Amino acid sequence: MSQRTPTAAPPRAPWSYTRFQQRFAPYLFVSPFFLLFAVFGLFPLLFSLFLAFHLWSPLDGVGNWKFVGFENFQLALGPTDMFWKSLKNTVWIGLLSGIPQHLVALPLAFIIHHSLRRFQGAFSTILFLPYITNAVAIAIVFATLYSERLGILNYLGGLVGLDPVRWLGDPNMVPYSVAAVVFWRYVGWNTVLYLSGLQAISEDVYEAATVDGANGWQKFWYITLPLLRPMMFYAFTLTIVGSMQLFEEPFMLLNDGGGSGGAGLTSAMHIFNTAFRDLDMGYASAMSWLLFLAIFALSMLNNYLFSRDGGRR
Amino acid sequence: MKQTAAFALATALLLGTAHAQEKVTLTVAAFPSLDSAIKAILPAWTKLHPNVTINLQAQQFADHHNAMTTALATGQGLPDVMAIEIGYVGKFAEGQGLENLNSAPYNAAQYKKLFTPFTIAQATGPDGRFIAMPTDIGPGTFFYRKDVLDKAGVNPLTMQSSWENYIASGKKIKQKTGAYLVNTAASVYNLIIRTNLKAGEGIYFDKQNNLLVGPDSARFVRAMTLAKQVRDAGLDAKIGEWSNEWYDAFKKGTVATQFSGAWLQGALQNWMAPDTKGLWRVQNLPEKGFASWGGSFYGIPSKAKNKQWAWEFIKFMTLNQQSQITAFEDNGAFPALIAAQKDKAFSEPVEFLGGQKARVLWRDAAAKTQPIDVNKYDSVADQILQTELTNVLEQGKDIKQALADARAQIARRAR
């Protein structure tokens, strides 16, 4: 053991530019993101969590909130509350639009990739158009298509002797009408996703399969589908999250009430109405968090189904 | 109290002596088509107060009210004068963000008798605070197609006498002309629940916040029952308001009657169905029901910078007879000021209504309209009941059951 004498720390420069640069400049450079996130991301998040436990109308002014504990959550989870109905609508419209989206997008991408490769660029552009179309234009076009007395759909139906359908008036019809618009809007987006997934699959695998005598269907089922799994997981997750937060399409077609009997009232619309029409911010915040939990649970379920199936690999 | 006194003194000083020279910019936030009325009145104001510039900020209807709600919540970005539509005035009256015009220096109590009475109640909160001055009103009225009724041999006065006769006439109209009675059965429901309320009653709640909806409420049972009769007899066209079908029905005369505010005449004439000039008439609502159908107000945010001038401006817009008539001539905004309703323009025939002296009728209807108590949970109750009404009309749900369910749901939300 050697004797150690405590040595004095090297003298510190009180302030040096180099030292500042090394220690603090990186923080300064990344700070814009964190500042923006704190103001527009974190603060609203925490504030809505805070409000979920309070009764507050914005017209009462900041500070005049009343603590109510879990009352807002109990209210939303009550069996007769509109929240359940809106959640049911949301899931139903989500299934009606989401499942066909993938059932069409996947084979479509496969066909474009393998048979129509020359036109792939053109197809991608066309398929992507609905996704970037202005919402107001969509509302006007579909309102014209769906119009009961003046609409093109009922006119065409009438030519073949069908009775006019109340596309946006009959509560039983509303979810289908809304789902059709959602399907139209996002099927191209999913196709483009799958196309990019297909491009990542090596040609060698298909060539090997051709040599082994596999037909088109077998290639799709035994090669494309399994190798597309990561992209499918990604696309499914986006569809689930998007469907659960569905707002724009039903709002455009049916206005804020969600149409006849609220049959097209989605959870996001109900939350919007509760917050900005009824000015019940606490209840709206509580429902937002419940919706978040629902989305989280469904995403986890999706994750589980994909990973369990993938265990065979 | 001290603050009020100081403010009163400052106001007196400002208005009394100093203001002749000072340059002021007054921010006024409004929505269409009230902004058009303000623009029409501005020249007269500028003539009187050349040193006060009006900065008019107009946004679309919903955007304006959302922006005002947010501004009131945070106290930021508030205008000096805030225009408020009738659907929002009750909510804003329940908050504390607007000046109480009853108190000094405004002392608006002295002006209240100058306005159509029910508008004052609309702008008064449950605690008695009076937060906005009325500028225009929408007297409820009963539009009908004279040509269609003539063809069916139906006397409009019979339709007006009772709801039962209204429906009976509707059957006759449908049979003889093929025209529907009304755009949607919900119109009948919506009108019945809004008329013939007792003093101290709102549509859904009374003054003491008691819920009036339920299976025992004669008003709601009757409203749903009659709406159901209309639907079952196939008398409604099942079309919503503000839709292409609605405008088309006006143009083609496929719907014989429409309950609305007096303002619908202007809309029909200007853009909805100008070619139907002379075919329409109006009368009072069935069973002497009088109802208010729209209206606008002006209030002053407590955090406004120029309250003195804001108040001067509001007085000029609402209490000045010529301003009110200018607004009426500009876009048909029916004056809330009683004196303005006595202008000679009101006894002139309306050519679109076949030369009927409709404005006199609307003026009387407005005078007979009773104040309706508003409640901050009105919009909650409205949404729940509309859904239950659809259950009754579309799915054959029992009316008493629907009302019991609605009652339970509303009671949970109205805390």
| pLDDT one-digit tens code per residue, A216-239 | 888 888 988 899 999 999 999 999
CB within 8 Å: A58 and B70? yes
| Percent of chain A predicted with pLDDT > 90 | 50
Q: Which residue of B has its CA nearest to A276?
A: B66
Closest approach of chain A CAs to the CA of B379, in angstroms?
6
Q: Give the CA dihedral B204, B206, B209, B211, nearest 10 degrees.
A: -40
Rounded to an integer, what distance in angstroms lies between the CA atom of residue A14 and that of residue B232? 89
What is chain A's mean pLDDT, rounded? 88
Over 70: is that where the pLDDT of B16 sits?
no
- Structural contact between residues B326 and B40, judged by C-beta atoms closer than 8 angstroms: yes
Distance of CA A271 to the CA centre of its chain: 16
Round to the nearest angstrom and report the end-to-end CA distance of chain B: 32
Chain B interface, mutation test: which of A43, A75, A84, A149, most B Cβ atoms within 10 Å?
A: A149
Residue B79's pLDDT is 96
**Chain B residues within an 8 Å CB radius of A60:** 95-96
CA dihedral A216, A222, A226, A231 (to 10 degrees): 0
Tokens of B121: 């109640």
How far does Cα B131 stand from its chain's mean position? 17
Nearest C-alpha of chain B: how many angstroms from A81?
6
Contacts of A54 in chain B (CB under 8 A): none
Mean pLDDT across A165-179: 91
Closest residue to B394, CB basis, from A61, A62, A171: A171
SS3 category, B281:
strand
Q: Is the ipTM here above 0.85? A: no
Q: Which of B94, B413, B415 lies at the smallest CB-CB distance from A59? A: B94
- A278 and B70 within 8 Å at the Cβ level: the answer is no
Looking at beta carbons, which residues of chain B come within 8 Å of A55? Answer: 415
- Compute the average pLDDT of residues A56-83: 88
Give yes or no for residue B375 having a pLDDT over 70: yes
pLDDT recorded at residue B18: 46
C-alpha torsion B62→B65→B66→B71, nearest 10 = 160
Residue A5 has pLDDT above 80, yes or no: no
Candidates A143, A262, A276; nearest CB to B387: A262
Give the pair of three-digit tokens for residue B383: 């949404």
How buried is B60 (Cβ within 10 angstroms: 0-12 exposed, 13-18 middle, 19+ buried)? Answer: exposed
* Mean pLDDT computed over every residue of chain B: 91
**Could A257 and B383 be called an inter-chain contact, meaning their C-beta atoms sit closer than 8 Å?**
yes
Q: pLDDT tens for residues B231-243?
A: 999 999 998 888 8
The tokens of B113 are what? 């008798």
Strands B24-30, B52-58: pairing kind: parallel
CA distance B406 to B401: 8
Closest-CA distance, B305 to chain A, in angstroms, reads 18
- Asked if A273 has any chain B CB less than 8 Å from its own CB, the reply is yes
At A151, the amino acid letter reads G
For an interface test with B, the pick among A83, A155, A277 (most B C-beta atoms closer than 10 Å) comes out as: A277
Q: What is the CA radius of gyration of chain B?
A: 23
- Output phi, psi for B329, to 5 deg: -70, -30
**Nearest to residue B255, comparing CAs of B405, B385, B149?**
B149
The DSSP code for A169 is T
- What local confidence, expressed as pLDDT, does residue A310 receive? 52
- pLDDT value of residue B4: 52
What are the pLDDT digits (tens) for B249-302? 999 999 999 999 998 998 898 889 999 999 999 999 999 999 888 899 999 999
Q: Is the pTM of this model over 0.80?
A: yes
Chain A contacts of B77, Cβ < 8 Å? none
Residues B293, B282: Cα–Cα separation, whole Å: 15
SS3 B29: strand
Q: Cα(B283)–Cα(B278) distance, rounded to whole angstroms?
A: 15
Least confident among A11-15, A191-195, B344-348: A11-15
User: pLDDT-derived band of residue A311, with 50, 70 and 90 as boundaries?
Assistant: very low
pLDDT of residue B6: 53
Q: Do B412 and A273 touch (CB under 8 A)?
A: no
pLDDT at B1: 42
Stated length of chain A? 313
